[in-house]
Amino acid sequence: MLVKKKKGLLAAGAVMAVASVALAGCSAGGSTGGSGDSDSASSALTVWVDADRAAVLKDAAAAFTEESGVKVKLVQKDFGKIQEELIAQVPTGKGPDISIAAHDWLGNFVTNGVVQPVELGDTAADYEPVAVTAMSYEGKTYGVPYSIENIALLRNTALAPNAPASYDEMIAAGTAAGTEFPFLVQVGPESDPFHLYPFQTSFGAPVFGTNADGSYNPEDLIVGNAGGEAFAAWLAQEGAAGHLSVNVTGDIAKEKFNAGASPFFITGPWNVPDAQKAGIDVAVDPIPSAGGAAAQPFVGVQGFVVSAKTKNALAANEFLVNYIGSEDVQTALYEVGGRAPALTSAFEAASSDPITAGFGAVAADAVPMPNIPQMGKVWQFWGVTEAAIISGEGDPAQLWQKMTGDIQAAIK
């Protein structure tokens, strides 16, 4: 009896605690009229950051606090969940002042009104142009970039001593090497338009046209142009020749390259450490063109954005532009993540590493992944159509035009 009563009480205590906190938490979204916030609360910056970046930011934050007296609170988040959590939490007033973000989330962030523009001022010229373009949406810059990431051609120097100048040369060199695959690229059952995109652009068929300032124009869907049809025909041809296969998933492509089953592998810097661990001497080359024009892969840029509802806009801006944007921090972020820095001076310093320099050379000619929300509706038709063409299920041009029509209907 005695024991049970205790348990009941304990449970009641727990319930009440949870209830009170939950109710208070739920209500936090209500009005923002609470003027009871003290000075100390309003002059502490909350920053969402993923685990890898947190250690570096700790030093930058300490330096910032020493200089300005503004405390910085770092909150570690799972990178993959930040997009949704920021959109869910900023409106409630519970979100951070600053968050790490990938540039292709910006369209979604702006559409939901959770971020505000960041004024890079004259420092904008200090960054790699592609990074600033990527961090812009509808002509305004919404974040301070810190890294650039893109795919390129990995070459096993033992199997292929020279960089191929064109796709045909690559196939010839790959065939001459006598390996299982002339070259590897991840495709998968629903294809992988991201990894095949450099080939697509080499036929002159980007998904969206661009405005004068380099931003994408969602009204101008040009994927279905003549170059697009040529690319579709090329996909069917390479699928029939066995060079592209929907059975080659990312895992399989990586495993085969690391086992020396192909001299070439189109992938990003994330697969380089494992290849080197497998004892392969890797060189990074530009992706060879299949259609004659330049093969431009997508660039992914990461950076830091400022919440639309921050009460510390000035401090947040100061921290981002003058601390995250400093060469020391950008270099330190590069050293933990291995992604090329976005700040030009840090990038040049990092280019002493041939791998980073190789990917960086490709990035200089690459295009940012579209950050307009319409892009989300492109993927669902794009990959499946490519897969069908590669597997030889129907007329390539017809399938490609059907896809263009479906995308057009979906983004209207």
Partner 1 sequence: MTTPVPRQTSDAEPVRQSKRLRQAARMAEAASVGVKTLLLKILLLGIVDAISVYALFVLFLKQDWVVFGLVLFVTAVVNWIYFSRQKLPAKYLTPGLIFLLIFQIFVVGYSGYIAFTNYGTGHNSTKEDAVNALIVGSQQRVPDSATYDLTVLDQLGAYSFLVTDPDGDISVGNAETPLHRVNDAETDAAGTGIGLPGYTTLNFNDIVNNQEAIAALSVPLSDDPNDGTLRTPDGSSAYLYLSDLVYDASADTMTNATTDVVYTADPRSGAFTAENGEELRPGWKVEVGFDNFVTAFGTEAIRGPLISVTLWTFAFAFLAVATTFALGMALALVFNNMRMRGRNVYRVIMILPYAFPAFLSALVWAGMLNPQFGFVNQVLFGGAEIPWLTNEWLAKFSILFVNLWLGFPYMFLVTTGALQSIPDELQEAATVDGAKPWQVFRLIKLPLLLVSVAPLLIASFAFNFNNFNLIYFLTNGGPRDATAGVNVGATDILISMVYKVAFVGANRDYGLASAFSIIIFILVAVISIISFRQTKALEELN
Q: Of 46-65, which residues contact partner 1 (CB under 8 A)?
A: none
Smallest gap from Cβ 108 to partner 1, in A, equals 4
AA identity, residue 347: F
Instruction: Indicate whether 12 belongs to the interface with partner 1 (CB under 8 A).
Output: yes
Instruction: Indicate whether 75 belongs to the interface with partner 1 (CB under 8 A).
Output: no
CA distance 278 to 181: 18
Interface of this chain with partner 1, residues 131 to 150, rule: CB under 8 A: 139-140
Instruction: Indicate whether 161 belongs to the interface with partner 1 (CB under 8 A).
Output: no
Stretch that binds partner 1, among 11-19, 198-206, 327-335, 341-349 (CB under 8 A): 11-19
Interface of this chain with partner 1, residues 207 to 236, rule: CB under 8 A: none
Interface of this chain with partner 1, residues 87 to 116, rule: CB under 8 A: 87-88, 90-91, 105, 107-108, 110-114, 116
AA identity, residue 181: F
Q: Which of 226, 240, 314, 336 binds partner 1 (CB under 8 A)?
A: 314
Query: Which residue lies nearer to partner 1 by CB, 79 or 349?
Result: 79
AA identity, residue 105: W
Stretch that binds partner 1, among 7-15, 167-175, 285-293, 333-341 (CB under 8 A): 7-15
Stretch that binds partner 1, among 15-23, 55-63, 166-174, 204-212 (CB under 8 A): 15-23
CA distance 152 to 296: 9
Instruction: Indicate whether 277 belongs to the interface with partner 1 (CB under 8 A).
Output: no
Strands 44-49, 115-116: pairing is unpaired
Instruction: Indicate whether 2 belongs to the interface with partner 1 (CB under 8 A).
Output: yes
Q: x/- string (CB under 8 A) for partner 1, residues 334-373?
A: ---------------------------------------x
Query: Which residue lies nearer to partner 1 by CB, 121 or 292?
Result: 121
Q: x/- string (CB under 8 A) for partner 1, residues 252-271?
A: x-------------------
Instruction: Indicate whether 190 belongs to the interface with partner 1 (CB under 8 A).
Output: yes
Instruction: Indicate whether 392 belongs to the interface with partner 1 (CB under 8 A).
Output: no
Cα–chain-centroid distance for residue 97? 21
Smallest gap from Cβ 179 to partner 1, in A, equals 15
CA distance 81 to 69: 31
Cα–chain-centroid distance for residue 176? 35
Query: Which residue lies nearer to partner 1 by CB, 252 or 357?
Result: 252
Stretch that binds partner 1, among 37-45, 144-152, 228-236, 262-270 (CB under 8 A): 37-45
Smallest gap from Cβ 281 to partner 1, in A, equals 25
Q: Which residues contact 144 (CB under 8 A, 6 or more apart)?
A: 118, 120, 135, 303, 304, 320, 321, 324, 325
Q: Which residues contact 332 (CB under 8 A, 6 or more apart)?
A: 56, 59, 60
Instruction: Indicate whether 125 belongs to the interface with partner 1 (CB under 8 A).
Output: no
A 10 A CB-CB count for 244 gives 24
Q: Which of 210, 225, 377, 408 binds partner 1 (CB under 8 A)?
A: 377
Smallest gap from Cβ 335 to partner 1, in A, equals 27
**18-37 b/e (C-beta count within 10 Å ≥ 16 → b):** eeeeeeeeeeeeeeeeeeee
